[in-house]
Amino acid sequence: MKVLVTGASGLLGRTTAGLLVARGDDVTVMQRRHAGLDCREVLGDVADHEAVARAVRGQDAVLHLAAKVDVVGPRAAYERANVTGTATVVSTARAAGVGRFVQVSSPSVAHTGRPLVGAGAEPADPEHARGHYSRTKAAAEVLALSADGPDLAVLAVRPHLVWGPGDVQLVARLVTRARSGRLPLLGGGTALIDTTYVDDAAAALVAAVDACGPDAHGEALVVSGGDPRPVAEILDRVCRAAGVPPPRRHVPVPLALAAGAVADRVWAVTGRTDVPPVTRFLAEQLTTAHWFDQRRTRTLLGWAPTVGLEAGFEALAAWYADTSR
């Protein structure tokens, strides 16, 4: 199969594209910097119609991961990457006669601050999702699914808290803060959350490319490891794998939420680009349960995680041990 993967310079995109290459697919990747994969590569911005047209031409399927993933920055930057970029890739794919489109989304598109306990893929909520990233990803998911039809089968897949060796979004930030003593537990760290080891998430996306078609289209699916653990345990295991002190200091939930709201306001007004100590979104994510019913996902995709948390933490510890030599 000829498959275009956008956003292959990120951990999940690179891992997924690598799986497709390894099994013999004819893979094209598109992103703004070299991904270092043994396949055709188109460098460019997903909001650039001409660059996308070069990448999409002749493809059977598109796996769209490219996005602005961050906690700070102006709304316009998220709109361009996540909404305009998705609109460009979708419209160009349709014009090029692509038959399958997998939109990589996020469970945060349906998280409005309340706990998600054994939830399915609830509707994306661009109005009430938290923060620029989640709101624009929600709008992008709605846009992509609206293109589903007889000529283009569309699936939205929401991998939850993807992590693994080399992760710079979640793991590296936790480790950096823990190393400097700036990683507290918010509340008691008792909220149960699902996470997904990167190899399992990548395998799910490959399964989505295969399944997308007449019997699997027009809906969103949440992907996770299906093994929810308390926040405190996850932070402890990540820190121990990296050889840094786990968090010991506790911050009350109301204080964390208030501090996050203040930080959001200060960073927005001043235009700061560094990562704040806490945001309202992060405080909510670390203090409310969010774990998911995986039955629909696993049935439709014919997929289940094969690595899981324990083997994942072992791989993470081995990676840190190797990189510290």
Q: What is the pLDDT of residues 262-286, one digit of tens each?
A: 877 877 887 787 777 777 778 887 8
Q: Which of 37-41, 178-182, 246-250 has the highest mean pLDDT?
A: 37-41
Banded model confidence at residue 215, pLDDT cuts 50, 70, 90: very high
Instruction: Write down the pTM of the prediction.
Output: 0.93
Domain boundaries defined on the chain: 2-162+195-224+293-306
Let me know: does 36 contact 60? Beta carbons within 8 Å.
no
pLDDT average, residue stretch 299-316: 95
Distance in angstroms (rounded) separating the CA atoms of residues 10 and 8: 5
Q: Which CATH class is domain 2-162+195-224+293-306?
A: alpha beta
Inform me whether the pLDDT recorded for 194 exceeds 80: yes
Q: Which residues are catalytic?
A: 133
Q: What is the pLDDT of residues 64-116, one digit of tens each?
A: 999 998 877 788 999 999 999 999 999 999 999 999 999 999 999 988 778 88
Determine contact, residues 149/213, Cβ cutoff 8 Å.
Answer: no
Q: How far apart are CA 167 and CA 10, in angstroms?
A: 8
The residues near 255 (Cβ < 8 Å, ≥ 6 apart) are none
Termini Cα distance of the chain? 40
Q: Is 284 exposed, middle or buried (0-12, 13-18, 19+ CB in 10 A)?
A: buried
Structure-block tokens of residue 142: 């709605």
Eight-class DSSP state of 292: E
The single residue listed with the structure tokens 């653990």 is 229
Backbone angles phi, psi at 264, to 5 degrees: -55, -45
